[in-house]
Each structure stands twice: as C-alpha cells, then as structure tokens.
Structure 1
Amino acid sequence: MWTPFVQCWTRRSRAFDTGNFSKLLPTSNFTLNMSNTPDATRLNPPDQGPAVRDLAANERFRQKVVDLLGGDPDSIWHGGYVDHVWEKCRQPLVQYLGQSRAKRVLEFGCNLGATSVVLAHLGAKVDAIDIDTRYIEIAVENAARHGFTDEIRFGCHADSTALPWPDGTFDFIACNSVLEYVPFAILPAVLSELDRILAPGGIVFVAGTSNRLSPIEIHSRRWFINYMPRSFGPAASDVERGLFPWDVLGGFPGYTQLDVEDRSSTYFDWKRAAGMSASRRAVLHAVDAVSRPLGLPVALLLPSFSTALRKPA
C-alpha cells in the first residue's frame, strides 16, 4: 500500500537526507491498462470520469478548501476540477501515457491533485508534488474521496531545483498550468531537473500555460501585461505570469516536439474531444499549416499553450 503523506522541506534546508526521502517515495512500478490491439501505444481508458466514492473524505476535502484556501468547494477550480481535467484534458493524457509506455509518472506542481486523480483513473500510480502544504493537504483528500489513496503519493517539496529522485526515474511528467508560476530566474534550473529525472524516451507534457505571446494574460485577464518587461521589477512579476513557448522548449534541448512529429493530429483530436467547434478547429488548422513547419505548431501560439516533448532514447 502506498501511504500519502504531508511533509515539507523549506528552501533553506536543501541538505535533506535523500536516503530517508527515498523510503517515503519508493520508485513507482505499475502496468498501465494497455490495449491488446497491435497499436500498443494506445490505452484502454474508462468510459466515465472519476467519481466521488468516499463521502467522509469528500466532506474533509470540502472543509479544507474553505479553511485553508477560503475557497468555494463547489467551484470548478476546487470541487469541480477533477471533472474539468477529465473533460478537457484526458485525450492527450491517454495518448501520451500510451506512447511513453509509462511505468513511472510524476505530476509536477499538482495543486489540488486533479490531474493526478485523472492519471490514476487511467491506470497510473503517480508521484505528485507541490511547494504549498495547503494544496498537498487538500490533494490528499481529493485523491481519497475519489478512491485513489493507494495510487497517488503526495509530497511537498519547496526547492524545485533539487528534486529527490535519481536520474531517469520517470517515464512521463505532467505539468498542468504550473510552469508560469515558477519564478523566472530559476525556471531554467527547474526544467533542467525535470529533464534529469525523465527517462530516455520519456515524455514531458506541458498544458494550460499562460502565453506571453498573447496580448491578454489568461489568469488576471489583463491586457498587455504579458508585454511588460521583467526589468520593471517586482510589480511586473506580480502581475504577469506568462512564458514564451521557447522559454519551455529551451529547457529540453534535443527533445522531439510531438505536435511537429504527428502534424498536430493529437492536438486536434484533443480539442475535438474537449468540445472545440469545427469552425474554430478549421481556423487553427490553417494557422498550423503555416506555423508548424517553422517549429511552432499552433498549440504553442494560443493564449494558453501546450506542448508534448519526447526525450531522446
């Protein structure tokens, strides 16, 4: 049995005992529910999303959302976030988990654990980390209320530039709406750590990241904040959270952009499954036909950008 835990190392105490940490976080080892068809890169996903199964854990989850965050447990970003991720993001998770033949999965910056719950529902056992103990406390209950206490292992680790796993530990890393929150000064070091712990041939999937190419910042909904130079000081860093796509791509040198490799077919399958209209997809197809040969598939050009990158084998 995997035991979820809540423990946090402060940034000032980087010299933690890696041996003890590895006892708390043993290497994941599991088999995904792969299709028996010749196309073994596809998963056999369940038809329905994760359901709430533990009413006591559900009540604890709801109360912690109120007590720790002052949030509304019925909002889409709290109690409804698992359903939102299932509806909007399961298709690429299914595809890329299968392509990477993932046995070891990490969610980096897990927030309330919604993506981890969806990954567990797809058959994965997941390590999930965040820098905020409040989110970890709530994420533990989120997993429990969906019946995935044994499948997801949570930990709080405040220094993302020194992660506690050996080289090549994970086959798949998910970064859902998180990298724009990493202080820009340490972003290269954080991406280097993710590269270090990803196994050869593994996939890192970045989704929902605020794009500095966009005139409107997707979190604050403020116009032109993305274009404010970082040199304007703390006031600027407090309001703009966007990243340029190349800020992320540059952290994974030599990786293959899967949207370039598959001509954005996975991206458009994803958006069709998530409910994007045919007319909008047609417009994006036209843009993609021009931008993708330049190394910028359309998924990198939207206000909220995504990319899937495969490490060289």
Structure 2
Amino acid sequence: MHQSDQGCLQSQILAYSGSCSASDAISAQSVVKRATCFDTVVHDPETNTLRRSSVGPYAVRLREARERADAVAGSRQHDEFVEVVRRETPWRFKGEKGLDRYLHNVRHHLSHFAPLALSCVDDDIRTVFDFGCGSGSGSIALALIFSDIRCQGVDISPAEVTIGRERAKLFGVGDRCQFDCISPRQALPVPSDAFDLCTCCSVLEYVTDPGIRKFCVQEMARVLVPGGRLFMSVPNRLYPIELHSHKLGWNYFPKLLKARIVGATAWEVMRLAHPHVLKLCSTPLRRLLTPWSNFCLRKER
C-alpha cells in the first residue's frame, strides 16, 4: 500500500477516535495493516463501531483509469489501432462480439483483473512483470492506475506483442510498458530479484508440458524480489462452461493447482483472491459458479 493511502486510512481512524473506544482504535490499526487496496475503514454512527468498506483509497484511481480508457475508445488514434489489429490478427474479425471485447480489453481488465491483482498486494508496487502478457491489457491497466510503476511483459506470440506495443502507445503508457517476444523454453530476459509483482493470467492452462510448466513457475520466482507476490488466474475446472475458443481438454482444480505450484519452487500460498464485488465464499455451489480460480502466492525470503 502506498504511503499516501496508508496515511489516508490512519487519518480517518484519528478522526473517529473521539467516538470510538480504545479497543476499537487498536482494532482499526490492525485493519489498516490488513487492508487491501479497495478497502478502507469507516465509522458506523448507529453502532459506534469501525468497519471495513469496499470504497477504498484506490477507488478514485480506478475510476479515473476507466474514464481514460473510455476516452481512448472514441479517439482517432483508436481507429489507427484497429488497423494494426486487423493487419496482425485478421482472424479476430470473423466474430464482431469477440473483436469488440478484444479492442476494449483494457477496460475489461480495469473492471475485473486489476481489483483482484491489487487485493493481493499490501506494499508499494514499483515494478510489475506480466508473464504471458498477450496484447498487454493487464500491464496497461495497472499503468493507468499508477503513474509511477513500470511494467514489462513477455509472450510467445509476435503478433500479440506487436499489438501490445501499439496499445500501450494508444493509452499513453508506452514509455512505462515494455513487451517482448520469447520462445516457450527461453529463460526470461530480465535479471533476478527485479520485480515487486508478477501477474500470470490465463496462461498456465495452455502449458501442458509439466517440465515447461515447472520451468515457467521457477522463472517467475527468480525475477521476483524476496517477498514479492505472484497473482495467478486459471480457469476453474468446476465451472460448467468452457472459457476458451477451443476446448483444451483440461483445466486446473484449485487445490491441485496450489499443490503443484508450491511443490515446484519456494512459494507461500497467501490466499485465494475471490472476485471483489461478489465476495464469493468457498462453498461447493459458489465455487462452481466462479469461472476463474485466482491465487496470491508470495516468494519466500
């Protein structure tokens, strides 16, 4: 959590101190330490207690980022970007619905991916590594929220990397988002202990070779600083609808994923990052209705 946001929470607690007991104030301090990026502490006058609220210090940044994304969608530069997509991936124009979502993927990430990824991080984020970045929407979404972070992503598709670079320029973050193309068995072209956060969204289900999958996770561990976080999202096998354009034949069970990842390298499983708005519980029925399994892992020091 950024120091300014931490101070925002603390100032709110001090403002409530006149109407709260000492035990409430101590409880509030512990809430601050555990607060995620979209949580804050508010005073309930009816019960005279402090409680956590889903309207937090990053909510303003998120709203502003969404407004910027909406403004870009109606610009002349966006039409030029469409031509890049048309040239690099002509197959996407076979279905208008899929194309529309692809073109507005940054807005989609701001609504779904960013709140989940940031809920796994308690400290300052300065550097982000996007493993399997695709066309860069995840990195660009984070760069729109935070003006001082630098993002670097890799993907095995030259066309997606090209689109990602053009998309970053379109959103005005080309100087802070770098995307490179690598081969499946290539070591990541970055030094060790270099990134605060690594994201890996809808990637591992495509890596069917166990040896390559283990190598990928070990590389993600290598580039993270000690104590750095990995946010990972994979399809939930219990979900009744196939989420991909073609059936892969298998997805990950949530518990099985944790076992495989922890066994591959030195990770500590922090928690499942359930959708922020839905606040799903880990009951069998609600887990069935969750299309993605989201994990927060911390690299052991």
Q: Distance in 1 between matches of 2:257 and 2:282?
A: 25
Deviations 1:71-113, CA, capped at 9 Å, x for gaps: 248734311111111112222233334x142222111111111
Query: Residues 286 and 149 from structure 1, CA distance in 2 versus in 1: closer, same or farther, beyond 3 angstroms?
Result: closer
Identity across aligned pairs (percent)? Answer: 25
Contact 1:109–1:130 (Cα < 8 Å) also in 2 = yes
Q: Which of the two has higher C-alpha Rg? A: 2
1:252 to 262, 273, 276: 262
> Offset at 1:216?
4.3
* Aligned residue in 2 for 1:310: 298
Cα-Cα RMSD: 3.1
| Bigger relative contact order (CA 8 A; separation at least 6) | 1
Residue in structure 1 matching 2:111, options 70, 82, 87: 87
1:133 aligns to 2:163 (yes or no): no
Instruction: Please give the residue correspondences for 1:294-309 in structure 2 after superposition, counting only pairs within 5 Å.
Output: 302-309=290-297
Q: Which residue matches 1:61?
A: 81
Letter of the structure 1 residue corresponding to residue 187 of structure 2:
A
Identify if the C-alpha distance between structure 1 residues 176 and 286 changes in structure 2 by more than 3 Å, giving closer, same or farther.
closer
TM, length-normalised to structure 1: 0.66
Report the equivalent of 1:210. 235
Identify the match of residue 184 of structure 2 among 159, 171, 187: 159
Q: What do residues 182-210 of structure 1 show as CA deviations (whole Å, max 9, x unaligned)? A: 23331111111111211111110012x12
Change (3 A) 1:200 1:249: farther
How far the C-alpha of 1:308 sits from its partner, in A, is 0.9
In structure 2, runs of 5+ residues without a counterpart are 11-31, 38-56
Which residue matches 2:203? 178
Distance 2:199 2:152 in 1: 11
Query: Hey, what does 2:175 align to over in structure 1?
Result: 150
Which residue, out of 245, 249, 261, partners 1:240? 249
Deviates more, 1:141-150 or 1:33-42: 33-42
Judge conservation of contact 1:57–1:142 (CA < 8 Å) in 2: no
Q: Residues 218, 68 of structure 1: CA spacing in aligned structure 2 closer, same or farther, 3 A cutoff?
A: same
User: Where does residue 281 of structure 2 map in the other structure?
Assistant: 285
- TM-score, with length taken from structure 2: 0.69
- What amino acid is aligned across from residue 188 of structure 2 in structure 1? L
Letter aligned with residue 120 of structure 1: A
Read off the aligned partner of 1:112 and give its amino acid letter. S
The answer as to whether partners of 1:60 and 1:141 remain within 8 angstroms in 2 is no
Q: How does 1:218-229 map to 2 (within 5 A)?
A: 218-220=243-245
Residues 76-115 of structure 1: pairs in structure 2 closer than 5 A: 76-97=100-121, 99-115=122-138
1:200 aligns with 2:226: yes
Distance in structure 2 (CA, Å) of the matches to 1:58 and 1:286:
41
> Counterpart amino acid of 2:134?
N
Q: Which amino acid aligns with 1:65?
A: V
By percentage of residues, which structure has more strand? 2
**Number of aligned residues:** 241
Which protein is richer in helix relative to its size? Answer: 2
